[in-house]
Structure 1
Amino acid sequence: MKIRTSITVLSVVLSLASCKKEKDNDDKELLALGLLAALQTPYIGITPTRGSITIGGNANRTITYDPKCTGVSGNQTFKFYLKKGTSKNLLVNFMGGGACWDGKNCFGSNTTTYFNRMEILSELAVRLAFNGILEERNANNPFKDWNVLFIPYCSGDLFWGSKATTYTDPTTNTATTLQHRGFDNFLASIDYVSKTTDWKPGTGDKIFVTGQSAGAYGAIYNFPYIKEIFPNNEVNVLGDAGAGVIPTNFQAQGPVDKWGADANVPTWVGVSSTSFATIQLGDFYKQVANFYPSSRVAQYTTNFDGNQRYFFNVQKRIQANVSYTNSTDLWGKSDGSQVDDSTSCTWVTEARTNIITRSGQSSNFRYYIAGGDVHTITTSANFYTESSGGSSLLTWLRGMLANNSDWVNRDCKSIGNCSPPATASSPSGISCSF
């Protein structure tokens, strides 16, 4: 494995700072030093290679992994990032970035719906782009002292896949094979941590698993593996903006057929590789929570999450075999503002059913449903100011970590305003019954 660090920009800034000559240059020196501090990154990048991991306990298996991005230009080599804290507690963060399961949304001009530019990601880019719970300089951050494993996303498969799939590129009409290896990428990352003294949590140290958008699905799907790899640690999980609303048959047509996700299911929680093709995400959360009653399991979403409504619409349009057009008109804006109100309201109803009715059956599960339509929050500065669920989200998460009375279900509906957003068909705000 190779460790890579971003030093080019830092070298330039250091050179500028060393050029001070006279007292009247103090302002320039301070500016250069401030720039240096802003551009420093505590992350190190590691490029894993093919390997295997033996997981005991309920998993009881040895799995070979082959980490890769999908393989298109600029998205070939997978790497993960680590940040050292002052404790041995570990925060595992799965990055978001959409998904693809068809030629129309795996390729195309302005129609590709997953993050396919892994090679622009760097240690410094991770530092600058992802804040919130990853910002160790914020005194209010409950994870500021923790080690961090940041798992990037470049596979288009929600960190579920281990399969090479051939699609027809609609812009060239040629067959192109993509590597959906998100599960392999997860295994390579967690295997490194579990075998490296500097990063492996000690007995009694805590592990918190989370992810945003696509990463939210990776977090809950792979949580049972993390729990079995670290059986002596407290391990909890929070999904951020991944409510799992899908059309009928999507699970079989996408995750199972295109990504091979059924082969990687943590079957010991009571979900077979066969039943995974039809299970609702809320029921998957319930199975996981019930199997690990000493863990705390949670979800966050906004009530009208625009990007989740957008993807629900993409799923429906692909199922309807919509004709490919070389423009953004195929899917509309990713903020969900062009999704028709009927589809949007179906998403709202199903998201609440998944989270409240299905997942909510487990005594160790809680949710926070915020107002509005903003997508993801845990790696945003807004994490520290959100309170539209009826209390501070920061207080709620601190309550989850401490397992105290602050960790209760929170819902914008309970305070009478979920802040419906404007859409193309409802400029004054979408109206849904829920």
Structure 2
Amino acid sequence: MFKILKNSTVIPMILLSLLSCKKEKEDTTNDLLLVGLVSATSTPYIAITPTAGSISIAGTNLTTTKSYDPKCSGVSGNQTFKFFLKKGNSKNLLVNFMGGGACWDGKNCFGTNTTTYFKAMDSLSTLAVRYAFSGILDERQASNPFKDYNVLFIPYCTGDLHWGSKATTYTDPTTNTESTLQHRGFDNFLASIDYVKKNTEWTPGSTDKIFVVGQSAGAYGAIFNFPYIKEIFPSNEVNVLADAGNGIVPANWQTEAAVTKWGANTNLPSWITGISITAELGEFFKKVAAFYPTSRIGQYSSNFDGTQRYFYNLQQLLQTNLTYSDSSTLYGKGDGSQVADSVTCDWVTKSRINFATAKTESNYRYYIAGGDVHTITSNNNVFTEASAGSSLLTWINGMIANNSAWANKDCKNVGTCSPPATSASPNGVSCTFSSF
């Protein structure tokens, strides 16, 4: 069952907590972005509120029926999952997984200014989606290669990278009481894609293209769920681009978070040869690319991505006996500027190892931009970025067309990758790293 919410025309005020939109970076301290929309405004999106159901998959490699129970995490203001659709001038489909941090511990799932995932789904309206997300989602941009596509926008309100199917109980550090969160990101994905599959108005024809993309947490959702989309639509060309999702994790983090807290192991595309929930991310991309050689697999990241460095540092902190504080200073600023230079350089080195691992597959490409900005495809910087020696827009168009413009691009090959200022190095952090 699905409930359709009609377009909003007058919204007096929307309170939108968007971790991925503060200065194009994911503000992991859960600051609220206040979007005041007072005048009458239209939006091309519709919102659908799904309920529990099941999807039948009859793909080339997977034949099954999977149940889903769509939910947001369940904290105040984050109760009801909904997804958004926008009609294009073709039956091609753009599937966009929204970003917004992650949580796997009471100290970052709850607290004052310490929560590190998007938890304001109840305030996310059709109008908010229209004005908070631009770039490849904006059909008004003449140079947008996806301007004629139908759009499925899958919001994020579960703290599990769109991977989870589990309810987990945590201790709230501010009250010392137990609270349960619904990590149902995978269920929400299935409910969203099932609607597209079952409603011919939105279902791509057999010759239409599907492009899967996600920003930040959504980047992990995009690569994790891409195999399911390929199996649900086996006759279609399906490609995937992960934007700002090249995470490095400490030992055992995947087991602690993805398996124990989120239950993501039950959703792993296990038909892919050698796939593992505990693999390094580069290996995960490599296995997916190898199994689907006719699909194109792309990754974008800035070389010093501030938010990814922040989360790498946070993961390490939460593996220690961290004393909780009701202040964002517990983890430092979400832009990564207070991350120790040694941790920054460790992240840069290891993220490049991920790229090097995946690039051995001929249908995989990367674009490594200079600087530390986090996410780009859902803002208009996607149309001007050129720090890796070529236009990112040209690179994306090359990916769509499968031509020579879609080549590996690295800021290191054309400069210094614009190292950012940090608390320890106000003139720019110094890291030694190699190009490929």
Segments of 5+ residues of structure 1 without an aligned counterpart are 12-34
Question: Do the aligned residues in 1 keep the contact of 2:309 with 2:336 (CA within 8 Å)?
Answer: yes
- Candidates 115, 120, 143, aligned match of 1:117: 120
Equivalent pairs: percent with the same residue? Answer: 68
- Candidates 46, 52, 55, aligned match of 2:57: 55
Matched residue, 1:17 = none
Matched, 1:241 2:241: no
- Deviation of 1:61 (Å): 1.6
Matched, 1:44 2:46: yes
Question: Do the aligned residues in 2 keep the contact of 1:244 with 1:282 (CA within 8 Å)?
Answer: no
The separation in 2 between residues aligned to 1:173 and 1:56, in whole angstroms, is 47
Matched residue, 2:182 = 179
Matched residue, 1:18 = none
Question: Do the aligned residues in 1 keep the contact of 2:247 with 2:312 (CA within 8 Å)?
Answer: no
Question: Do the aligned residues in 1 keep the contact of 2:268 with 2:277 (CA within 8 Å)?
Answer: no
- Counterpart residue type for residue 247 of structure 1: P
Question: Do the aligned residues in 1 keep the contact of 2:388 with 2:409 (CA within 8 Å)?
Answer: yes
Matched residue, 1:302 = 302
- Counterpart residue type for residue 59 of structure 1: L
- Candidates 250, 257, 267, aligned match of 1:254: 257
Q: 1:323 to 1:90 in 2, by over 3 A?
A: same
- Candidates 213, 227, 235, aligned match of 1:232: 235
Matched, 1:331 2:331: yes
The separation in 2 between residues aligned to 1:367 and 1:232, in whole angstroms, is 26
- Counterpart residue type for residue 321 of structure 2: N
- Deviation of 1:106 (Å): 0.0
Name the structure where helix makes up a greater proportion of residues. Answer: 1
Question: Secondary structure at 2:359's aligned position in 1?
Answer: helix
Q: 1:289 to 1:38 in 2, by over 3 A?
A: farther
Listed one character per residue, the Cα deviations across residues 212-257 of structure 1 (whole Å, up to 9, x for unaligned) are 0000000000000000000010000000000021111101111111
Matched, 1:127 2:133: no
Matched residue, 1:92 = 95
Matched residue, 2:347 = 347
| Rg (Cα) greater in structure | 1
Report how many residues are paired.
408
Listed one character per residue, the Cα deviations across residues 128-148 of structure 1 (whole Å, up to 9, x for unaligned) are 000000000011000000000
- Deviation of 1:74 (Å): 0.3
Matched residue, 1:15 = none
Matched residue, 2:140 = 137
- Deviation of 1:5 (Å): 2.7
Question: Do the aligned residues in 1 keep the contact of 2:394 with 2:405 (CA within 8 Å)?
Answer: yes
Segments of 5+ residues of structure 2 without an aligned counterpart are 13-36
Listed one character per residue, the Cα deviations across residues 179-236 of structure 1 (whole Å, up to 9, x for unaligned) are 0000000000000001101100001000000000000000000000000000010000
Matched, 1:386 2:373: no
Q: 1:10 to 1:333 in 2, by over 3 A?
A: closer
- Counterpart residue type for residue 390 of structure 1: G
Matched residue, 2:169 = 166
The separation in 1 between residues aligned to 2:183 and 2:217, in whole angstroms, is 13
Aligned pairs for 1:373-412 within 5 A: 373-412=372-411
Question: Secondary structure at 1:97's aligned position in 2?
Answer: coil
- Deviation of 1:7 (Å): 3.1
In the TM superposition, structure 1's runs of 4+ consecutive aligned residues that sit over 3 Å from their partners are: 35-38
The separation in 2 between residues aligned to 1:109 and 1:246, in whole angstroms, is 25
Question: Do the aligned residues in 2 keep the contact of 1:211 with 1:240 (CA within 8 Å)?
Answer: yes
Matched, 1:198 2:201: yes
- Deviation of 1:6 (Å): 4.1
Matched residue, 2:311 = 311
- Deviation of 1:10 (Å): 7.3
- Deviation of 1:321 (Å): 2.7
- Deviation of 1:153 (Å): 0.1
The separation in 2 between residues aligned to 1:345 and 1:240, in whole angstroms, is 20
Question: Do the aligned residues in 1 keep the contact of 2:164 with 2:267 (CA within 8 Å)?
Answer: yes
Question: Do the aligned residues in 2 keep the contact of 1:240 with 1:376 (CA within 8 Å)?
Answer: yes
Question: Secondary structure at 1:313's aligned position in 2?
Answer: helix
- Deviation of 1:358 (Å): 1.1
Q: 1:38 to 1:409 in 2, by over 3 A?
A: farther
Question: Do the aligned residues in 1 keep the contact of 2:78 with 2:119 (CA within 8 Å)?
Answer: yes
Question: Do the aligned residues in 2 keep the contact of 1:59 with 1:266 (CA within 8 Å)?
Answer: no
Question: Secondary structure at 1:116's aligned position in 2?
Answer: coil
Listed one character per residue, the Cα deviations across residues 24-65 of structure 1 (whole Å, up to 9, x for unaligned) are xxxxxxxxxxx9998211000000000001112212221110
Question: Secondary structure at 2:261's aligned position in 1?
Answer: coil
RMSD: 1.5
Question: Do the aligned residues in 2 keep the contact of 1:183 with 1:264 (CA within 8 Å)?
Answer: yes
What's the TM-score once normalised by structure 1's chain length?
0.92
The separation in 2 between residues aligned to 1:38 and 1:365, in whole angstroms, is 44
Question: Do the aligned residues in 2 keep the contact of 1:265 with 1:271 (CA within 8 Å)?
Answer: no
Question: Do the aligned residues in 1 keep the contact of 2:244 with 2:301 (CA within 8 Å)?
Answer: yes
- Candidates 217, 220, 223, aligned match of 1:220: 223
Aligned pairs for 1:273-292 within 5 A: 276-292=276-292
- Deviation of 1:271 (Å): 3.9
- Counterpart residue type for residue 5 of structure 1: K
- Counterpart residue type for residue 363 of structure 2: N
Question: Do the aligned residues in 2 keep the contact of 1:69 with 1:78 (CA within 8 Å)?
Answer: yes
